[in-house]
Chain A
Amino acid sequence: MDCHDTQAMLSAYHDGELSGADRAQVESHLRTCPDCAALLESLVRIDAAVEVPDPGPEYWESVNRGVDERVGREEARPKTPVVPHPGRRWIRQQLRYLVPAVAAAAMVVAVVRHIGLHPGSPVPSSPPPTAEADRVPPSPAMPSPAVGRDAREGSAYRASADKKRVAAPGRPAATATGAIPESGAPFVPPLPAEGKTALPPAAPAADIAHGKPERRVPTRTGIDSPAAGKNLSDVTDRQTAASAASAPSGASAETPPSGPAVGLSSGRDTSPSTDSERIMTKTRSPSDFRNQKDEAPGAAVSMMPGSARREPAARSKEDPSGRLSASPCEEARSLASRGRFKEAEAAQRACLAADASPPAQESGLVFLAELLDRQHRFAEADSVIAEAQTRFPRSRSVELYQQQRPQVQSGRIPFPSGR
Chain B
Amino acid sequence: MEADLGEERDERLAARAAGGDRRAFDALVTRHRRAVYRLCWSATGNHADADDAAQETFLRVFRALPAYDPDRPFGPWLRKIAWNCGLSVRRDRQAGVPKVSGEELPDPVDPAEGPEATASGNEEKRRVAAAMADLPAELRAVLVLRAVEGLSYAEIAEAAGIPAGTVMSRLSRARERLLAALGARARGGA
Contact = CB atoms under 8 A, between A and B. Distances in A.
Interface of A: 8, 10-12, 15, 17, 39, 42-43, 45-56, 59-60, 63-64, 66-68, 70-71, 74, 254-256, 259-264, 275-276, 278, 379-380, 382-383, 385-387, 389-394
18 contacts: A15-B146, A46-B182, A47-B175, A49-B125, A53-B47, A54-B105, A64-B29, A66-B51, A67-B58, A71-B62, A74-B59, A276-B63, A278-B92, A383-B88, A386-B80, A386-B83, A390-B67, A393-B72
A380 B91 contact: yes
Interchain residue pairs A-B with the least CB separation, the first 8 = A261-B66, A386-B84, A11-B172, A49-B128, A47-B147, A50-B147, A52-B38, A390-B64
A218 to B, nearest CB: 39
A262 B124 CA distance: 47
B69 A393 contact: yes
A11 B127 CA distance: 20
B179 interface: yes
Contacts of A43: 175, 179
B152 A17 contact: yes
A74 B25 CA distance: 14
Contacts of B29: 63-64, 67
Contact of B69 (A10, A52, A276, A394): A394
A67 B36 CA distance: 13
A387 B60 CA distance: 9
A295 to B, nearest CB: 28
Contact of A276 (B59, B66, B104, B152): B59
Nearest to B128: A49
A337 B108 CA distance: 54
Contacts of B33: 60, 63-64
Bin chain B's interface residue count. 35 or more
A179 to B, nearest CB: 30
Residue of A49, A55, A255 with most partner-chain B CB within 10 A: A49
A275 B146 CA distance: 29
Secondary structure at chain B's binding surface: helix, strand, loop or mixed? helix
Contacts of B127: 49
B124 to A, nearest CB: 5
A47 B42 CA distance: 15
B148 A51 contact: yes
Given A17-B152, A52-B41, A391 B67 contact: yes
Given A46-B175, A386-B84, A55 B105 contact: yes
A251 to B, nearest CB: 13
Given A71-B25, A386-B80, 15 more contacts: A17-B168, A51-B108, A51-B128, A54-B105, A64-B26, A70-B59, A260-B65, A261-B64, A275-B59, A276-B56, A276-B85, A278-B88, A392-B67, A393-B68, A393-B72
Nearest to B100: A53
A185 to B, nearest CB: 19
A153 B152 CA distance: 47
Contact of A386 (B38, B81, B105, B175): B81
Contacts of A380: 87, 91
A50 B179 contact: no
B178 interface: yes
Interface in B99-135: 102, 104-106, 108, 124-125, 127-129, 132
B56 to A, nearest CB: 5
Contacts of A386: 80-81, 83-84, 161
Nearest to A47: B147
B67 to A, nearest CB: 5
B171 interface: yes
Contacts of B84: 382-383, 386-387
B185 to A, nearest CB: 13
B186 to A, nearest CB: 12
Contact of B60 (A48, A53, A59, A264): A264
B103 to A, nearest CB: 11
Contacts of B24: none
A255 B146 CA distance: 34
Given A50-B143, A52-B148, A255 B67 contact: yes
A260 B41 CA distance: 27
A253 B66 CA distance: 10
A70 B63 CA distance: 11
B54 interface: yes
A265 B122 CA distance: 45
B67 A393 contact: yes
Contacts of A8: 172
A55 B64 contact: no
A255 B66 CA distance: 7
A38 B106 CA distance: 32
Nearest to A378: B161
B124 A49 contact: yes
A390 B41 contact: no
B144 interface: yes
Given A11-B172, A51-B148, A53-B105, A390 B60 contact: yes
